[in-house]
Copies of this chain bind each other. A is one copy, B any other.
């Protein structure tokens, strides 16, 4: 084997270790850290980030990659993929000056704090000057890259490599028309009953039931764990240590079950990556949309299906007999799929969720183009919410200030949530062709054929293939809205008798 490849792997292994160490520190900060620990933790993370950046952008790595690109040109081996992915990461990283990276850390730390305060006080003006600085950062970031068809392409590429703004817009335009039509039909139909979802459900029992479900899915607790945090997330320290967090909110107690399924979907993806890729840049999910297709599949296509609850509802009813008295599996199924215009993206039902995303995409594009005066954002937000979702936020906390992303400089991320929904439905159609009787399997609480299919077609490959190629290869088509619209239409026609 190439000596240079070994050298590269050694450096990338170190970088992977440093990044995983930082992930442990970040997880600890969100799950365990006492309040006093924050300042020092910021320094620990800054040092790890700086060393990791230095190591991954060194001249040595650049020279190795130059030679290895030649050697592995056109190779579809794992090593070829490794060199290709490492070279792309390197080319991106060296464009960004170290001073920018340091400044971004300072600006986003301050803007995150301002956002927390602004949201608490529902006062956009507290966040506005910080958002202005973040936007300046974003525009500077874009300027480090060769001119693209659209400046937003550069931001999008960090989360969905290869995807173009114009393609996303086109796909979203189609979905919007279809989803708005569907929602209209639902509005004039007979509404479903869901009051029993908001009774008191004991936190420990809900948590226990969540762990039962995700264990049965195939999330491996011997290589992971579920902890409490302010926000549900998944994080990976190696293929064999992939953790998730969850939360419990008394006003919506069973949401814990669905966020658990969602994060376990992310986690099963990471747990399923080939061990051969450990300590290389191939040991990651391939893109945000593909990642999201996994989480949304387990949460929605499996976890909000009638077959699933035909199996699990009797178990749930045993745990919560009084809360669910007189409720059938079918009634429960309808309730957890109830469609209603809502203010908060993360709580939105499947029929309206993508509309929340489209709104954000349009704003982000306007902001990066400079066509939106940032001080007008709350008003534009509210107008579009009324237009798309049919509801106007009563305050900015439940409007323009609801998401953490902009404060953290995560522009280009939102659309991948909606793309993930589309991909999940594309995969689902293919899976149901490949696995005979999957629905019956789910109805008897069996998920191993499904998980094995996902492992074999998606998970095991990690970052080996380009995400858009992988989607084409596995589903037989590009990202498109047809399967998702078919799925939504069928599901809601049944629930609402359309």
A residues with a Cβ closer than 8 A to B are: 13-14, 17-18, 20-22, 24-25, 28, 32-37, 39-41, 43-44, 46-48, 51, 220-225, 227, 237-241, 243, 278-279
Contacts and interface: CB of A to CB of B under 8 A. Distances in A.
A194 to B, nearest CB: 36
A382 to B, nearest CB: 35
A143 B324 CA distance: 71
Contacts of A46: 17
Contact of A47 (B17, B24, B239): B17
B48 A21 contact: yes
Given A25-B21, A48-B21, A37 B223 contact: yes
Given A21-B44, A34-B224, A36-B224, 10 more contacts: A13-B47, A24-B44, A34-B241, A36-B222, A37-B223, A37-B238, A40-B237, A40-B238, A40-B240, A40-B241
17 contacts: A13-B47, A17-B47, A17-B48, A20-B40, A21-B21, A21-B25, A24-B25, A28-B28, A33-B241, A35-B222, A36-B222, A37-B237, A39-B238, A41-B237, A41-B238, A44-B237, A51-B51
A34 B221 CA distance: 7
A241 B40 CA distance: 8
Contact of A222 (B34, B227, B241): B34
Contacts of A225: 32, 34
How many chain copies?
2
Nearest to A220: B36
Given A24-B24, A28-B24, A241 B48 contact: no
A44 B33 CA distance: 20
B34 A47 contact: no
A243 B227 CA distance: 18
A226 B170 CA distance: 52
A157 to B, nearest CB: 29
A414 to B, nearest CB: 30
A36 B223 contact: yes
